[in-house]
């Protein structure tokens, strides 16, 4: 490329060279701004869709349930004791009026307490004592005893009083040294060395409750039981129904209610 005598490029060519230099400088500047950052923080993984902040899994997929999976275990079932009212079966089908109640086996509604760590697994303490047990009937109770069943089970004997009518029954169950009939006051003679009297409250006369009263065998006996010798049914008098259990000794007992149908269960430790 030729130059003028003064050593400079011609005017047109000088302007073109200046533009080219400006373009080259701009390109170098842009290259320096878009290079790899190197020491910048690496991008973390994206949070998965549906993940809850507390660690539970949201129900975004198909299936049933509340939509989240909780880590908390379900609450344990309540263990019935004195005064407890439980729904469901008393262990099986009806054993018949006055008959053995092997089918009235203990179920989930009346579990035994946990075995103490210092006792063998086969030696579970009976969850009862010899103290009087009382529970109030509901205010609207108007019930009649329709069946009395006695049966033997592993570690205890059971008496079931089935009722029909309105409301829920109450009871007063206690050992007595002088069992007597309601109303007449006559002595009740029982087989066995101890008497456990049962008063079911919230009951009424059949003409008032419109429910036929139990009229089966009386006393109720079975050769299968170890502790209970017999049950004498006393009937209803002034709002409560009486029954008397002749037992071999003052053994621990427990009382509780079941529903559908209404029942009052008395278990007496045996063996």
16: helix, coil or strand?
helix
* CA pair distance 79, 113, nearest whole angstrom: 8
Tokens standing for residue 267: 């278990």
* CA pair distance 100, 264, nearest whole angstrom: 16
Evaluate whether residue 95 is within a structural domain.
Answer: no
**For residues 160 and 90, is the Cβ–Cβ distance under 8 A?**
yes
- CATH assignment at residue 157: 2.60.40.3500
Q: Which domain holds residue 244?
A: 131-269
Average pLDDT rounded to a whole number, residues 175-179: 97
Average pLDDT rounded to a whole number, residues 116-125: 49
Evaluate whether residue 203 is within a structural domain.
Answer: yes
Query: Shortest CA distance to 251 belongs to which of 221, 224, 227?
Result: 227
**For residues 210 and 261, is the Cβ–Cβ distance under 8 A?**
no
The percent of residues above 70 in pLDDT, for the chain, comes to: 54
Evaluate whether residue 77 is within a structural domain.
Answer: no
234: helix, coil or strand?
strand
Evaluate whether residue 240 is within a structural domain.
Answer: yes
Pairing of strands 156-166, 262-269: antiparallel
Is the torsion defined by CA of 93, 98, 100, 105 positive or negative?
positive
Evaluate whether residue 7 is within a structural domain.
Answer: no
Cis omega (within 30 of 0) for bond into 261: yes
pLDDT of residue 137: 98
The model's pTM: 0.61
179: helix, coil or strand?
coil
Query: Shortest CA distance to 88 belongs to which of 256, 266, 212?
Result: 256
DSSP state of 172: E
Evaluate whether residue 138 is within a structural domain.
Answer: yes
Per the model's pLDDT, the better-predicted residue between 37 and 211 turns out to be: 211
Evaluate whether residue 50 is within a structural domain.
Answer: no
- Number of domains, the chain: 1
Evaluate whether residue 34 is within a structural domain.
Answer: no
């Amino acid at each position: 490329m030729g130059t003028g005598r003064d050593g400079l490029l011609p005017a047109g060519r000088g302007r073109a060279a200046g533009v080219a230099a400006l373009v080259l400088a701009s390109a170098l500047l842009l290259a320096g701004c878009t290079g790899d950052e190197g020491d910048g923080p690496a991008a973390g993984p994206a949070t998965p869709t549906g993940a809850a902040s507390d660690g539970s899994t949201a129900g975004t997929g198909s299936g049933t349930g509340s939509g989240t999976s909780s880590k908390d275990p379900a609450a344990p079932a309540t263990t019935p004791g004195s005064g407890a009212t439980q729904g469901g079966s008393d262990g099986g089908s009806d054993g018949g009026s006055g008959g053995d109640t092997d089918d009235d086996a203990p179920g989930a509604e009346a579990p035994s307490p946990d075995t103490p760590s210092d006792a063998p697994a086969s030696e579970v303490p009976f969850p009862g004592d010899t103290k009087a047990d009382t529970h109030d009937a509901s205010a609207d109770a108007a019930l009649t005893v329709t069946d009395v069943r006695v049966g033997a089970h592993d570690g205890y004997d059971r008496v079931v009083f089935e009722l029909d009518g309105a409301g829920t029954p109450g009871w007063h169950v206690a050992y007595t040294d002088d069992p007597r009939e309601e109303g007449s006051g006559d002595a009740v003679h029982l087989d066995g060395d101890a008497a456990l009297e049962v008063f079911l409250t919230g009951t009424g006369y059949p003409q008032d409750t419109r429910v036929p009263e139990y009229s089966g065998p009386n006393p109720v006996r079975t050769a299968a039981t170890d502790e209970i010798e017999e049950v004498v049914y006393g009937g209803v008098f002034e709002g409560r129904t009486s029954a008397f259990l002749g037992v071999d000794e003052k053994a621990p007992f427990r009382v509780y209610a079941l529903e559908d149908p209404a029942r009052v269960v008395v278990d007496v430790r045996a063996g």
